[in-house]
Structure 1
Amino acid sequence: MITEDYVQKIFKGLEQGDGAKFFAHVDDKVDWIVEGTHPLAGHYKSKSDFVAGTFAKLAKVLPHGAQLVVEHLLVKDDQAVVELHSLATAKNGLRFDNRYCWVVHFDGGTIDRVRAYLDSAMVARLFAENPV
């Protein structure tokens, strides 16, 4: 059974800018859906595809990366709903302080499915104003 403390511990990696620490808890064959109609949206069938389709793209327009902060957390059985926000500045100076809601499923303590929701308009603006 997943606990709030366990989920908080996993997400500490993202809060501290240590993506590797977070992704150590994500299954290599994770099924990760980023909802929306923007450059990061998609249905990713592996950890490497998700990282390439999202974090790697963001790294090109957010030169100092993004700090993710957990705001709220709800855990039930083998799922967690995690609300986060990001703190970041784009190449052109645009503040990219987005909001996220991730519905996370765990299998044996490892994240195996995620549905992620975010401010699609903000993502579209980020990439429109900071072409890669």
Structure 2
Amino acid sequence: MNTIENKAIVQHIHEELDKGNGRPFVESLADDASWKLEGSTAWSRTYQGKKAIREELLDPLFAQFAAPYRSRTERIIAEGDRVVVLFSGDVPTKAGKRYNNRYCYVYRLEGGKVKELTEYFDTALVQEALQPPTVVHAG
């Protein structure tokens, strides 16, 4: 895959996230993808594998939201297998907090799939607006 193809994949992911549709994002993850959340929050660590990303990060996070999550993509920059996205999001939590974070995602793609993702975000807001993660068991 070249720069243009990688950027197009990520652009599609973020166009859909901006509409509140996270399915293309999850479907784009390689089975052995890693997602690193920077900082020292209760959420900050590297999540290894698509299953762990869903069960240990996405499910517990979205369980705290009181409304559908939508983002607002501002800029996408690509070079080779790396794609950088600047965007923001705003959603109320079930605890009555406003989670209006700003992000910089650094993707590394391989074979049309997201292999690595590093997330930079407002860690103080995470500490203020979110509860520490707990694994949500589907069921």
TM-score bracket relative to the smaller structure: 0.7 to 0.9
Question: How far does residue 2 in structure 1 lie from its aligned partner after superposition?
Answer: 3.0
Q: Are 1:117 and 2:120 matched, yes or no?
A: yes
Amino acid at match of 1:55: L
In the aligned structure 1, how far is the partner of 2:93 from the partner of 2:9? Answer: 32
Paired position in structure 1 for 2:55: 52
Residue 100 to residue 39, structure 1, CA distance change in 2 (3 Å):
same
In the aligned structure 1, how far is the partner of 2:17 from the partner of 2:50? Answer: 15
Question: How far does residue 131 in structure 1 lie from its aligned partner after superposition?
Answer: 9.5
Per-residue displacement from partner, 1:50-82 (whole Å, max 9, x unpaired)? Answer: 122322122232121321221111100111011
Paired position in structure 2 for 1:78: 81
After superposition, residues 16-95 of structure 1 pair within 5 angstroms as 16-95=19-98
| Structure 2 residues not aligned, in runs of 5+ | 135-139
Q: What number of residue pairs does the alignment pair up?
A: 131
Per-residue displacement from partner, 1:17-53 (whole Å, max 9, x unpaired)? Answer: 2212221111011021111111221111111211223
RMSD, aligned α-carbons = 2.0
* SS of equivalent to 2:130: helix
Amino acid at match of 1:25: S
* SS of equivalent to 1:54: helix
Residue 131 to residue 34, structure 1, CA distance change in 2 (3 Å):
closer
* SS of equivalent to 1:36: coil
Amino acid at match of 1:76: E
Taking structure 1 as the reference length, what is the TM-score of the superposition? Answer: 0.87
Paired position in structure 2 for 1:101: 104
Amino acid at match of 2:57: T
Residue 57 to residue 78, structure 1, CA distance change in 2 (3 Å):
same
In the aligned structure 1, how far is the partner of 2:106 from the partner of 2:78? Answer: 10
Taking structure 2 as the reference length, what is the TM-score of the superposition? Answer: 0.84
